[in-house]
Structures are given as structure tokens and as C-alpha cells.
Structure 1
Amino acid sequence: MNTMTYKGYTARIEFDERDNIFIGRVLGLRSIISFHGETVDELRQAMADAIDDFLADCEERGVKPEKPASGKLMLRVPPEVHGAALMAAQAAGKSLNQWATEVIQEAAHG
């Protein structure tokens, strides 16, 4: 996956062969923020403009801007999965939080 980052926000980048443009969409938000450009430089500027507009709009409305991730993740899993994960964490000499963070990080970046 091709990505681009600006002010802590990350976008997935794709190339549209039909229109001959790059298209970006910011990931991890409920709000839909998309942008496009014919060159990488145009795309970078379009992303910066889109994020800056989003942040300015939030400020104007007096709302806290949504962040891609807070660092808090709550999961609901079957009890047997929870138990197996807890045993794997203990066997590794780690807390469930430490163990899960490592497993998720490896899966996400693997």
C-alpha cells in the first residue's frame, strides 16, 4: 500500500489510469477526506490543503479534530481467545497489553 503522511494523518494513495491522476484518502477517520493531483508534488500540496482545511473547519466550529488513533484499543473477543492470549503473554513474560501491542504491530507492518 502506498501512503503519504502530513501532520500525523496518513492517506492511502492510488493511481487512476483512466483519469491519469493520483488519488488520496485519509485513513482512520470517520470524516471522509480525499484529494488528488496529477504529480506527486501536486498530491502532497493537495493533502496538506485538505488536512489544513479540515483542521481550520474544526477550529471554526469549536470541535476537537478527530485523530487517526488515540492509542486506546478496546476489543471484544471470545473468552477462549482472551484466555489463550493471556497465557501466551504470561508465557512470554509480558503483560497482555505489551504482548498484544507487539502482535498487532507485527501483523500491521509484517
Structure 2
Amino acid sequence: MMNRMDIDGYQAVIRYDPEIDLFRGEFVGLNGGADFYAADIARLKQEGARSLKVFLEMCAEDGVEPRKPYSGKFNVRVPPDLHADLAITAAAEGKSLNHWIADVLKQAVQG
């Protein structure tokens, strides 16, 4: 997926920062911040691995779980007419709205 980088099983979002003319990577889903910068992709991977190593070492020293826990629940606000259309579409596919939305979201992140 574009703008995403996997480093040792941890996900980072990559963006170009025109103000400093560098790519910036930021690990997501962590119990803290870890970012890294580089001018090219090869160096970005190296800097990401270095940043992640430092972050994980600090977590180990402090006894902190590196990954942020997720409950599997979140609220989404949509206009009432969209809510109705979603519910109808889910029912037409023989699924609950929750199951249908989960399937759509899964497809979105995988492909």
C-alpha cells in the first residue's frame, strides 16, 4: 500500500515534507512517538529501523508495552440517508450492518 512501510512488523506512514526536502516516516499504533527522516527510500528504511530499535529499547527499560491496544470498537458518524443506504446494502447481501462494514473496511486496507 502506498505511503506505508513495514519495518520488523511495525507499520509506519511515509510522507514527503517539502519544507525540509525529506521523506518523513512515523510509526503508528505505538504507545509513544517514533519518527524518522531521509532523502531516499533505502536510507528511510535504515533510519526507520534505527528509530524503532531506540523506541523498543526505551519501552523495555520503562516496562511499557510498545504497541497501543485497540478495543475493536469505534463510532462512525454518517448522514442519516447514507446510514439507511448502508443498512439496505448490508441486508441485501444477507449481512448485518456491522459485518458488512467490517468486510468493506478490510477490503479497503488490503487492496
* Same fold? TM cut 0.5: yes
Partner residue of 1:23? 24
What is aligned with 1:66? Answer: 67
Q: Which ranges of structure 2 fall in alignment gaps of 5 or more residues? A: none
Q: Which residue of 1 aligns with 2:9?
A: 8
Taking every aligned residue pair, what percent have the same amino acid on both sides?
34
In structure 2, the residue matched to 1:99 is: 100
Q: 1:18 to 1:86 in 2, by over 3 A?
A: closer
- Number of aligned positions between the proteins: 109
Stretches of structure 1 lacking an aligned partner (at least 5 in a row): none
Query: Which shows bigger deviation, 83-92 or 44-53?
Result: 83-92
Q: What is the identity, as a one-letter code, of the residue corresponding to 1:91?
A: A
CA distance in 1, matches of 2:5, 2:71: 20
Distance 1:17 1:96 in 2: 41
Deviation at 1:89, TM superposition (A): 2.9
Q: Which residue of 2 aligns with 1:57?
A: 58
Cα distance 1:107–1:41, how it changes in 2: closer, same or farther (>3 A)?
closer
**How much has 1:73 moved relative to structure 2?**
2.5
Question: In 1, are the aligned partners of 2:27 and 2:33 still within 8 Å (CA)?
Answer: yes
Deviation at 1:101, TM superposition (A): 1.0
One-letter amino acid of the counterpart of residue 33, structure 2 = I
- TM-score of the two chains, using structure 1 as the length reference: 0.68
